[in-house]
Amino acid sequence: MLVSKEDFAKYPFIIGAVDYVKRLDLKTDELSQPEFSAIVTRAEARIEEALLDGIIKWESRLGYDIELLSYPVAIIFVSNIADNYLKKRYALAESKRIQALLKEDVDEKLTEIAISIFGWKVKRLPLEIYQPFDFSLSFIDYLRNAPNFHDFRWKLVNKHLINGEVFLQKDEFSRLISEEVRKHIENTINTSPKVELNPLLLQRIEHIKQRLNIRKERIRIKEQPRNIISAAYPPCIKNLYDYLISGQHISHVGRFTLTSFLLNAGMKIEKLIKLYTPISDFNQRLTRYQVEHIAGVRGSGTKYTPPSCETLKTHRLCPGPDELCSRIKHPLAYYRRKIRMIKK
C-alpha cells in the first residue's frame, strides 16, 4: 500500500522510499547544481525547523520529490556536522512530524509500517467489537518503546493486556511507531559515513552550525540559573544534562540523579521543571510532582541527594571519570571542589 510518491515523501525511511532514492542515483557533487537548489534549501530548512520548533513541517506544497529528497540530504548535513545535540534534536523532530502524519493516515498504513519496517506483531481491530481500541500489539514490541515514556499511562500495568497483546488506540500506536522511527533515524545518522562536500554545500553547513550555536547559547542563557556553575558539573551530570536538553530518553535513576543534583546545587523548582520540556513525553503535572517530592516539598519532607559515584557506576551512568573524579566519591563533592578550583 505504501507505494505512492506521497507516501515516500511522508515516510522517507520506508523501504520503497529508500529504493526510489537509490534508483535516482543522485551524487552529492551534483547537489550544488541549480536544478537541485530547492532540495538543498528544503534540507537546510528541515534542520532549522528541528532546532527552532522541535518538529519538522510537512511541506507537500513544495512537491513530493523535493520533500523526499531533502530528507537524505538533511541526514548528510547532520551527519557531517557530527554534533550529538543536533543529531538527537533532528531525529526527534522528524519523529514528531511522522507521528502527526500517522495519526491522520489510514490504519492500513500504520500496520504496514509496523510490520514491514520494524517487524512488529500487530493486528487491526474491528472497531464495532473492540471499541475504543484500534490495534493490538505484542507486549514484547510494546516494551521495546513504551519504557522510554515516563507518563504513568504508558506503564504496562495500566494497559489492557490480553493473551500477550496490548490493546491500543490509534494515537497511542502512532506514538509508539514514532519512537521506533526516532531511534531508526538517530541510528541512520550515526552510521552514515562522512562524505566530501563541495564549497557551496559547506557554506550551507556553516550556516546550520551558526544556528546550532545560537540555539545552544539560548538554552544555556534561558535554562541555566546564574547561581549554578555548569562548568563545575561532574562528567555524569554534564552527560545527563546534555541528554535532557536534547530531548533524549533518560532512565528513572538518571532523572533522579540529575534532579536531586541540580536542586542541591541551588536550582529553583520552576527552572528545573522547565528543563524537562524538551522530553517527548513531558507531562507538567507529573514532572512537578516528582521534582517537588525530590526537593522535599511533598511527601516526607526529605530533600534527597544524588546517589554516590559507586551507585552511578552500577547503573552505568558514569560516562568515564576525569582526573578529579579519582579523588572524590560523590557528585556533589566533585561540584563543590571544582567550584573552589574555578574561583582560584
In the numeric block, the cell 540529575 is attached to: 258
- Non-local CB neighbours of 284 within 8 Å, separated by 6+ positions: 273
Domain of residue 238, residue span: 230-343
Cβ 322 vs Cβ 219: under 8 Å: no
| Same domain (yes/no): 274, 180 | no
Q: What is the pLDDT along the chain (344 residues), one digit of tens a residue?
A: 788 999 999 999 999 999 999 999 988 889 989 999 999 999 999 999 999 999 999 998 889 999 999 999 999 999 999 998 999 999 999 999 999 999 999 999 999 999 999 999 999 999 778 889 999 999 999 998 887 776 778 888 899 999 999 999 999 999 999 999 999 999 999 999 888 899 999 999 999 999 998 887 776 555 444 568 888 999 999 999 988 888 777 889 999 999 999 999 989 999 899 888 877 677 888 889 999 999 998 877 788 999 999 999 999 999 988 989 988 899 999 998 898 888 76
| Same-domain status, 186 and 116 | yes
Of 271, 289, 309, the residue nearest 150 (C-alpha): 289
Residue 91 lies in a domain: yes
Same domain, 186 and 234: no
Residues 56 and 201 occupy one common structural domain: yes
Q: For residues 73 and 157, state if they share a domain.
A: yes
Supply the pLDDT for residue 226: 52
* Integer Cα distance of 156 and 166 in angstroms: 8
Read off the CATH number of the domain in which 43 is found: 1.20.930.80
Under a CB-based contact definition with an 8 Å cutoff, are residues 210 and 43 in contact?
no
195, 105: one domain: yes
> How many structural domains compose the chain?
2
